[in-house]
Amino acid sequence: MSKGVLSGKEVIKVLCREFGFYFVSQKGSHVKLRKKLKGREITTVIPLHKELAPGTLKGVLDLAEVDIEEFLIIALKIEEKIKLR
C-alpha cells in the first residue's frame, strides 16, 4: 500500500487474514472469496489490479459486508508492521 492506494492482492490478504475469508475461485483477473457467517455465505469478487479505484474498493467491501473504515485501519496497521521489520 503506497499513498493510500491498495492493490487487489493487498485487499485479498487483509480479507483472508483479518476477516475470515477464503479463496474460492479465480476467473481471469478476478478472485472470488467467501466466508460463512451465521449459517449463510458471504461472497465477494476482487479484481487483481495494481491499484483499486476507491469506488471499486467500496464495492468489494460492500459485497463482503465489511466496514470500509475498519478495513482501512487494519490495512494501515499491517503496513506499519511490515515497515518496522
Q: Which domains does the chain have, with CATH numbers?
A: 8-84 (3.30.920)
The residue-averaged pLDDT of 48-58 equals 95
Does 18 score more than 90 pLDDT? yes
The residue-averaged pLDDT of 30-58 equals 96
DSSP per position, 14-81:
HHHHHH--EEEEEETTEEEEEEEETTEEEEEEEE--SS--HHHHHHHHHHHT--HHHHHHHHHHHHHH
Provide the pLDDT confidence category of residue 34 given band limits of 50, 70 and 90. very high
**pTM of structure:** 0.89
pLDDT at 73: 94
